[in-house]
Structure formats: structure tokens, C-alpha cells
């Protein structure tokens, strides 16, 4: 495991890393903070039932250090420096490589979702490496049907069938959470009229939004991922006594050990 800095060196050094995590951190070109190691653990843990098979299929993770460009890591060194300027991450099909910016992994504005970029790019890996061709064909049919129903929909989810699957998957694994009131701002407006504005948490789209948008897609994802992906692992959980967010669900639970299970060789058998 690479050297980590900070007050929790001892705690982090005891983590039994999976191959996906170990490989990603070994290839991280800067010093890995304890927070990066912990956050990567929380993100990968969401896929703990799929991670071993994705690794076996050759999928790998690379993290771009905060403030760096995609072309600053060896795997993307030959790319145009401007490529992916506005992207938080990408999945490169041929090398089966998920590339994500450190800041996209560490920071989240959504109260009901911590790992938006990571989950989206992992969904691309699931599409290319785990879904059968017949499954891809069925999802393609659902995509074209929804486009026909809503031709005015210009959302990124409808950009193409791969983004349709990735964003639908993201909605599917994101649990519903009612947005809480953060504060109420009051001031005097034009003409001395009192104005009150309620500021609420930002909530990312979730499973119930997918139910409203395309119930057939929800049913399909349920048939593949129910009891395989745990949506609650997506939610950022505040650490008591501070504003910092971290995941502790693996502590003492045995949820995420070095050997993460799959159901045999090849495609996962119940798919």
C-alpha cells in the first residue's frame, strides 16, 4: 500500500484493500491522504458484489491528483491537454480504465449521494464488461422508446444509450431523501416589501425519479441489481461532532473484506 499522510495513518494502514483499491493507489502519482483512501473505500464498497468480477475482466481505476489534468497521469499522457477539461471522470473502453479526478471523488454537494461521478463511470464498466449483449439490446429498445415519448428531453441521460444506462443506474442506486431546510434568509426588497427565501439541501435525482421517468428501466435494473447494490452506501453520513463526511459502515461489520465475492467464472451467473 502507498504511504499515506495525516493523523489516521495507523487506522488507514490496517485496511485490507481489494485489488481494485490497491492497484489504484499504487498508481496514484502523489502522496495519498487518509481521506482519499477512506473515500475510495466508500466508493468501491458500493460495488463490493461486482468488484471482483470487474477486476477479473481487466477493469482498472486511476485517480488524477487534485488540480492536475487527465493528461498528467501516464495512462492519458498522449491525450490532448484540453480533453476532458470539464469532466469529473471518464471510462475509456479499450483499456477498460476508469479515470476520475481526486476532487470529484472527495467532494459532493448532494445530501443523498456522495459518489456521483464514480458511480456513473462504474456503470459504464458494468455496461461494457458485465451485461450480456441481449441486455444491452433491451436497454437500447427502452432508450429509443423514451426518446420517442420525450423528444424534447435534452438531458445528458438521453445523449446516447450508454449515458442512458449510466445515468439510469445512478438514479437507481441513489435512495430518496427529503431535502431539509438549511436556513431561511430574510431581507427587505424593493419598495420595503419583506422577502423570505428558504434554502434547502441539494438532492440528487434518485430511484423514485427513475420510476417516474421509465418504470421499465427500473424493473430491468431491479432484475439485475436488487440485493447486489446497497443504495444506502451512496448516502453521505456526517461524522458526529463535525461537518466532515465519511463512511464507517465497514468497521466491525465484515461488509468489505479483501475477498469480495462473485458467483463463479465468466458473466455473473444470475445475469
Interval 126-168: pLDDT, tens: 999 999 999 999 999 999 999 999 998 888 899 999 999 999 9
pLDDT given for residue 217 in this prediction: 96
Across 3-17, 59-73, 102-116, least confident range: 3-17
Which own/partner pairs from 86-95 qualify as long-range (CB within 8 Å, at least 24 positions apart)? 88/116, 88/117, 89/117, 89/118, 89/120, 89/121, 90/121, 91/121, 91/124, 91/125, 91/128, 93/124, 93/128, 95/60
Q: Is the pLDDT reported for residue 72 higher than 70?
A: yes
- Please classify residue 190 by burial: count the beta carbons closer than 10 Å to its beta carbon, then call 0-12 exposed, 13-18 middle and 19+ buried: exposed
3-state SS class at 182: strand
Full-model pTM: 0.80
% of residues, the chain, pLDDT over 70: 79
Q: Answer whether residue 262 shows pLDDT above 80.
A: no
**pLDDT above 70 for 213:** yes
Mean pLDDT of 177-198: 75
pLDDT-based confidence at residue 242 (cuts at 50, 70, 90): very low
> Given this model, what pLDDT does residue 182 score?
63
- Of the listed ranges 25-39, 123-137, 175-189, 216-230, the least confidently predicted one is 175-189
Whole-number pLDDT of residue 241 = 40
Amino acid at each position: 500500500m502507498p504511504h499515506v499522510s495525516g493523523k489516521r495513518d495507523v487506522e488507514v494502514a490496517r485496511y485490507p484493500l481489494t485489488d481494485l483499491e490497491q492497484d489504484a493507489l499504487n498508481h496514484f502519482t502523489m502522496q495519498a491522504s487518509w481521506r482519499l483512501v477512506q473515500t475510495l473505500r466508500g466508493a468501491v464498497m458500493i460495488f463490493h458484489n461486482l468488484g471482483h468480477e470487474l477486476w477479473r475482466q481487466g477493469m482498472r481505476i486511476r485517480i488524477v491528483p487534485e488540480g492536475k489534468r487527465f493528461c498528467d497521469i501516464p495512462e492519458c499522457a498522449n491525450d490532448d491537454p484540453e480533453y476532458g477539461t470539464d469532466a469529473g471522470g471518464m471510462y475509456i473502453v479499450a483499456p477498460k480504465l476508469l479515470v476520475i479526478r481526486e476532487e470529484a471523488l472527495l467532494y459532493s454537494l448532494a445530501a443523498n449521494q456522495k459518489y456521483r461521478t464514480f458511480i456513473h463511470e462504474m456503470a459504464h464498466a458494468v455496461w461494457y464488461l458485465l451485461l450480456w449483449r441481449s441486455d444491452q439490446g433491451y436497454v437500447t429498445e427502452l432508450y429509443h422508446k423514451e426518446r420517442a415519448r420525450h423528444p424534447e428531453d435534452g438531458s445528458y441521460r438521453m445523449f446516447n444509450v450508454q449515458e442512458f444506462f449510466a445515468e439510469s443506474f445512478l438514479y437507481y442506486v441513489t435512495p430518496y431523501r427529503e431535502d431539509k431546510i438549511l436556513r431561511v434568509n430574510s431581507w427587505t426588497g424593493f419598495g420595503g416589501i419583506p422577502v423570505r427565501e428558504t434554502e434547502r439541501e441539494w438532492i440528487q435525482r434518485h430511484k423514485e425519479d427513475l420510476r417516474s421517468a421509465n418504470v421499465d428501466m427500473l424493473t430491468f435494473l431491479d432484475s439485475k441489481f436488487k440485493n447486489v447494490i446497497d443504495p444506502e452506501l451512496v448516502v453521505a453520513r456526517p461524522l458526529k461532532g463535525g461537518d466532515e463526511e465519511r463512511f464507517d459502515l465497514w468497521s466491525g461489520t465484515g461488509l468489505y473484506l479483501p475477498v469480495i465475492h462473485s458467483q463463479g467464472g465468466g458473466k455473473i451467473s444470475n445475469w
